[in-house]
Structure 1
Amino acid sequence: MTLAWEHLIWRRRARLQIELPQHGPSFVTLIKLLAKSQVLITDVDEERLSSFLAFEPGVFAHRPAVVTLVIRTKGHSHEERLLHTLASFGYTCSRV
C-alpha cells in the first residue's frame, strides 16, 4: 500500500454521525465549518444524504436527520477541537 500526500497531512481517520437540527444550522453550514477547520471529507453516506435533502431551484432545505461522514483530521487534538466547534453550532456528533 502506498501512502498519498493526504495521509501525511491528515493522519487521524474518524467516522462521525452528525445530527442536523430542523431549526438551526444547515448541511451547507456543516460543510463550510469542516472546510474552515481544514478537515478532509473522505466518504459520505449518500443514500442517507439524498433521503433528507431537498434541492429545488433557489431552495435548499433539509428535514431533521443524521448524516454519516468519514473524515481525516491532523490528529486527536484537531478532532477534539472540531467536535467542540460543531457542538457550539448546535450539531450533535458521535463517533461510530
Structure 2
Amino acid sequence: MIEVEPGLNLRFPRRSAEFLEGVEIGILAATLASAGADVVRPVGRTALEQARDLAAGLGFAAIEQADLGDRVLVCFTKRRRRQHLRLVSCPD
C-alpha cells in the first residue's frame, strides 16, 4: 500500500516490490518538485536510500522522525541558501 496523501492510499495487487518502490519514489518526486515548503511522508524502508538521494537532488534534507515498522516517517525540509555576505565600503 502506498500513501499518496493522508487518507488516500493505492494498492497494486500482484505487483513486485520493485514496482511498488518505483511508484512510491515517483509520487515522492512529484510531491517534492511541487512543494514550496516542508513535506512529511511515510517512506518504505526499502525506498529510503533512494528517497534521500532524490531529496538531495531536489534541494531537500531528509530527516527521519518516527519508526512505523516497515515504513519510516520522514520530514523533507527545503534547504535554504546561505546568504552571501560581501564587504561594502562607505564613502567618506
Query: How high is the TM-score relative to the length of structure 1?
Result: 0.29
Question: What is the TM-score with the length of structure 2 in the denominator?
Answer: 0.30
Higher strand share: 1
Higher relative contact order (CA 8 A, sep 6+): 1
Structure 1 or 2, whichever has the larger Rg, is: 2
